[in-house]
């Protein structure tokens, strides 16, 4: 992190459950300006669920997101993120 500057995006404690099944368990990460994040893993690992929660397509059970060091209300998560699922075709 650049001293004195907040992270561009901070994600803390993202948790998603479907009934009693825990899908995401307290996901935490921070992004610095100009940093690129790739979320990779096998099918069924929660990658798509994480992205859909981050852009506000799925509701979370717990967690918070900060943008430039300030809390980002869930209704504005789409303004700070971009998600292009691989299943979209022209």
Q: What is the pLDDT of residues 54-88, one digit of tens each?
A: 888 888 899 988 888 888 887 777 777 777 777 66
**pLDDT band at residue 3 under the 50/70/90 scheme:** low
Cα 14 to chain centroid distance, Å, stands at: 8
What gap in Å lies between CA 39 and CA 62, rounded to an integer? Answer: 20
Q: What is the pLDDT of residues 16-59, one digit of tens each?
A: 999 999 999 999 999 998 888 888 889 888 988 998 888 888 88
* pTM score: 0.77
Kindly tell me if the per-residue pLDDT of 9 is higher than 60. Answer: yes
- 7 with 66: CB under 8 angstroms? yes
């Amino acid at each position: 992190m650049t001293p004195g500057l907040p992270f561009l995006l901070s994600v803390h404690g993202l948790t998603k459950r479907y009934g009693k099944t825990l899908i995401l368990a307290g996901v935490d990460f921070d992004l610095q300006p100009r940093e690129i994040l790739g979320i990779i893993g096998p099918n069924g690992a929660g990658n798509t669920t994480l992205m859909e929660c981050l852009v506000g397509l799925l509701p979370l059970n717990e967690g918070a997101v900060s943008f430039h060091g300030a809390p980002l209300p869930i209704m504005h998560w789409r303004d700070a993120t971009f998600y292009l699922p691989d299943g979209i075709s022209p």
